[in-house]
Amino acid sequence: MENKNFIREENRVYLNDDNGNMIAEIDFPLEGENLVNINHTYVSSVLRGKGVAGQLMENAVDIIEKNGWNAKTSCSYAQSWRDKHPEKKDLFV
């Protein structure tokens, strides 16, 4: 499932279903000057296994990079994604 209608906010990316219910989300609040913490990733069971969590991370990384921020990861999915993408290692602290 690609080309999702992700809603991008400054420190959050999410996806709603056709009824307006949130079905996927990633949060990365600021924790200091130019530092965010990717602390939460959620994907509804109806979307699991379809690459949605990875798409959430890609959207979050795009926002983080565009803002010139660095990121730490307290979310286990974000930690796993970070480890699988060494090309983004300079983004993470």
The domain tally of the chain equals: 1
Which token pair is 68?
């010139």
In the sheet with 70-73, reading across from the earlier edge strand, the strands are: 30-32, 35-38, 70-73
Joined together, the tokens standing for residue 52 give 């949605």
64 located within any domain: yes
pTM for the predicted model, two decimal places: 0.93
Print burial letters for 42-55: b (CB count within 10 Å at least 16), e (below 16). bbeeebeeeebbeb
- 1-44 tens-digit pLDDT: 344 799 999 999 999 999 999 999 999 999 999 999 999 999 99
Q: In CATH, what number is assigned to the domain containing residue 70? A: 3.40.630.30
In a domain, 2, yes or no: no
Residue 15 lies in a domain: yes
- Lookup result for tokens 């530092």: 35
1 within domain boundaries: no
Nearest to 6 by CA among 78, 81, 59: 59
Q: Which residue segment(s) compose the domain that 39 sits in? A: 7-91
Give pLDDT, residue 1.
37
